[in-house]
Amino acid sequence: MVAVTFPDGARREYPANTTGLDIAKGISPSLAKRTVAMALDGVSMDLADPIEQDAKIEFLTRDDPRALELIRHDAAHVMAEAVQALWPGTQVTIGPVIDNGFFYDFHRNAPFTPEDLPVIEKKMREIIAKDAPFTKEVWPREEAKRVFKDKGETFKVELVDAIPPGQDLKIYRQGEWFDLCRGPHMTSTGKIGNAFKLQKVAGAYWRGDSNNPMLTRIYGTAFAKQEELDLHLKQIEEAEKRDHRKLGREMDLFHFQEEGPGSVFWHPNGWTIFQEIVAYMRRRLKGDYREVNAPQLLDKSLWETSGHWGWFRENMFMAQSAGDHTEDERVFAIKPMNCPGHVQIFKHGLRSYRELPLRMAEFGVVHRYEPSGALHGLMRVRAFTQDDAHVFCTEEQMADECLKINDLILSTYTDFGFEGDLTVKLSTRPEKRVGSDEAWDHAEGIMQEVLQRIAKSNNRIKTAINPGEGAFYGPKFEYVLRDAIGRDWQCGTTQVDFNLPERFEAFYIAADGSKKAPVMIHRAICGSMERFLGILLENYAGHLPLWLAPVQAVVTTITSDADDYAREIHAACIRAGLRAELDVRNEKINYKVREHSLAKVPALLVAGKKEAAERTVSIRRLGSDGQQVMPLDAALAALANEAVAPDLRRVQNAA
């Protein structure tokens, strides 16, 4: 006998191997009918699974949040059946549930096209309508291999081989069709419902390895209810609307063109935002950091010493004299990182322990040859500006420096309006690395301790470990912020480096007169300024806070009678330190409002005859329909106050 505890706390005994379905039926046929799966002690299972030991049971309906995964997984199976029915000879591989849906990878000579998707969807609806039960069988390993081999499913044979010995090989059937799968599944295909959609086709490497053949992947999503699916599709649309590449065009911020793949042409508006961010960072560095600038082009030998030529070469640009008749054959690399340059500055002259920690910052432009397929607007470029810094310190100072950096990173994100969850991930030693295991043990140990202190210091912070994701020269923290629509972005990083100073034989004179290698901490807050700007744009959907907006106000007129007054307002805006433009074009006010609204100008200062007579201004704020008439002086004072950067406001408030 097994004892089963129900959600209401009731406990009943059943003969061993009674199934969940038996129990549900025993309670009521309607319960059995609407139950799609069960959870035993919180673990989702097939409803038809026998209950082998005492457990808490829950019957999952379609509406249970835990059933969503099952709906999607079942949909993936049905999609695979549909595809094989439509295109016999297509091999199936794997089809897992992912964050917002599911996919299934197929092997087929001709890839799928988007036009195939509605056809597959139609077939899926037919299969779902048949409502065939999902049934599970456990097959002997050899039989499974033979069956799949006979069917020509060579990828499945590989999957069977990959299942650790001793584990059951489960086969799920739905009508005629079956698939190797670890389950669980719902009771029948009809439970999937019709709130699903196939979204896109894409290539994907077999087992995620770029050495393997490429399969065709079909992505889809499914929900319990049509309204949920509609909402989800709507959200995707919304996210597309705030695509920074689109906003960049609309707001006239930047552009890309063929001759400079992955390199940004910054327009005046975009560069204004960029410089505003840099100015903010500079203010935050004041007092602690010294800003430097290291060469863009350095001899290859320096990169050999640093290890980049060995480890990073694929991502580096090389440069030589372009002259036809030059005898100078020297090979230079365009810097992909600032650190070797900073070590040279550290090394110039004798350093004393008294100078440590020595914090060296640079808004350095680095170039990296990123794979063409990785390029993506401002988010992934080949030339970008890092808000980079290197802290040279003693080992004893290291933990404190990491914490100090942590404070700077957190407050910076808050100032830029990222107030949601933050994750700090510790990335540990990668396979390709320099330095001894002892050095790595040591560095990771310290980082681990710091991570715990960071976690305790602030309840916004979640922590995680990324095994094997560290830099080739040392472990690192990665700071991941969450934007307004819930997407995570890795921006800041703190990396501990015991290697580079040693490679360059950098040292300082310690208190006892001996030479010691400093510890080097690499640190970035925004990471890439270009990317950070892109993230900001998407976070705010282009509606930047006033202090970041490239054009903070446009002064415009109802009729040309007010032109002179508008000029006066504009001049007053400039005096008040606002980035303001004047628009006295002979256009209707509707037209001008529309145009500046589309350009995401935060404040529109409108002057007509009435305003000119009363020395007021009609203010229309981006995103609101109405307007407010205010005395000019008061309006400008309010705007100027709003435009104060958050860090400067802190200073003001403290005074």
Q: Nearer Cβ to RNA, position 475 or 550?
A: 475
526 given a catalytic annotation: no
Q: Nearer Cβ to RNA, position 458 or 560?
A: 560
Say if residue 42 is exposed, middle or buried (CB neighbours under 10 Å; 0-12, 13-18, 19+): exposed
CB 252 within 8 A of CB 550: no
| Least distance between RNA and beta carbon 158 (Å) | 17
| Least distance between RNA and beta carbon 185 (Å) | 24
Q: Nearer Cβ to RNA, position 125 or 246?
A: 246
Task: Tell me how far apart the alpha carbons of residues 101 and 182 are, in angstroms, rounded to a whole number.
Answer: 18
DSSP characters for 425-457? EEE---SS--S-HHHHHHHHHHHHHHHHHHHHH
| Least distance between RNA and beta carbon 469 (Å) | 6
Residue tagged active-site, from 105, 174, 339, 380: 339
| Least distance between RNA and beta carbon 102 (Å) | 13
| Least distance between RNA and beta carbon 33 (Å) | 38
Task: Tell me how far apart the alpha carbons of residues 414 and 499 are, in angstroms, rounded to a whole number.
Answer: 33
Residue tagged active-site, from 522, 570, 596, 600: 522
Distances (CA, A) of 575 to 122, 582, 605: 65, 14, 15
Residue tagged active-site, from 388, 402, 516, 552: 388
| Least distance between RNA and beta carbon 535 (Å) | 13
CB 277 within 8 A of CB 535: no
Q: Nearer Cβ to RNA, position 594 or 615?
A: 594
Hey, what's the torsion of the CAs at 457, 458, 462, 465, to 10 degrees? -20
Spacing of C-alpha 576 from chain mean position: 38
Hey, what's the torsion of the CAs at 479, 482, 488, 490, to 10 degrees? -20
CB 290 within 8 A of CB 361: yes
| Least distance between RNA and beta carbon 258 (Å) | 4
* Number of C-beta neighbours around residue 112 at 10 A: 21
Task: Tell me how far apart the alpha carbons of residues 487 and 333 are, in angstroms, rounded to a whole number.
Answer: 35
* H or E element that contains 215: strand 214-222
* H or E element that contains 130: helix 116-130
Residue tagged active-site, from 74, 105, 174, 386: 386
Q: Nearer Cβ to RNA, position 1 or 613?
A: 613
Which tokens hold the place of 149?
């081999």
Pairing mode, strands 358-367 and 290-291: parallel
Which tokens hold the place of 547?
């202090």
Q: Nearer Cβ to RNA, position 198 or 471?
A: 471
CB 432 within 8 A of CB 425: no
Q: Nearer Cβ to RNA, position 214 or 233?
A: 214
| Least distance between RNA and beta carbon 630 (Å) | 11
| Least distance between RNA and beta carbon 268 (Å) | 15
Distances (CA, A) of 317 to 198, 342, 366: 41, 19, 10
Distances (CA, A) of 173 to 125, 133, 183: 17, 8, 11
Which tokens hold the place of 493?
């990083």
284 given a catalytic annotation: no
Q: Nearer Cβ to RNA, position 208 or 349?
A: 208
Residue tagged active-site, from 308, 368, 425, 482: 368
3-state secondary structure 10-38: CEEEECCCCEHHHHHHHHCHHHHHHEEEE
CB 379 within 8 A of CB 534: yes
Pairing mode, strands 35-40 and 43-45: antiparallel
Residue tagged active-site, from 476, 503, 516, 620: 476
388 given a catalytic annotation: yes
Task: Tell me how far apart the alpha carbons of residues 530 and 438 are, in angstroms, rounded to a whole number.
Answer: 37
Q: Nearer Cβ to RNA, position 326 or 597?
A: 597
Which tokens hold the place of 318?
């090389």
Task: Tell me how far apart the alpha carbons of residues 104 and 95 are, in angstroms, rounded to a whole number.
Answer: 4
Distances (CA, A) of 640 to 363, 412, 577: 28, 22, 7
325 given a catalytic annotation: no
Task: Tell me how far apart the alpha carbons of residues 272 and 280 are, in angstroms, rounded to a whole number.
Answer: 12
| Least distance between RNA and beta carbon 3 (Å) | 44
Q: Nearer Cβ to RNA, position 284 or 429?
A: 429
Task: Tell me how far apart the alpha carbons of residues 389 and 292 are, in angstroms, rounded to a whole number.
Answer: 9
Q: Nearer Cβ to RNA, position 589 or 645?
A: 589
Residue tagged active-site, from 191, 390, 592, 600: 390
| Least distance between RNA and beta carbon 578 (Å) | 18
Task: Tell me how far apart the alpha carbons of residues 182 and 169 are, in angstroms, rounded to a whole number.
Answer: 8
Task: Tell me how far apart the alpha carbons of residues 146 and 249 are, in angstroms, rounded to a whole number.
Answer: 57
386 given a catalytic annotation: yes
Q: Nearer Cβ to RNA, position 227 or 488?
A: 488
Strand pairing partners for 219?
Answer: 103, 200
Site residues (vs RNA, CB under 7 A): 111, 113, 200-205, 208-210, 214, 216-217, 219, 245, 249, 256, 258, 261-262, 311-312, 314-315, 368, 370-377, 380, 430, 432, 469-473, 558-561, 586-591, 593-594, 597-598, 604, 606, 608-611, 618, 620, 622-623, 625-627, 629
Angle at 445 between CA 443 and CA 449, to 5 degrees: 115
| Least distance between RNA and beta carbon 279 (Å) | 26
Which tokens hold the place of 466?
């990324």
Active-site residue set: 339, 368, 386, 388, 390, 476, 522
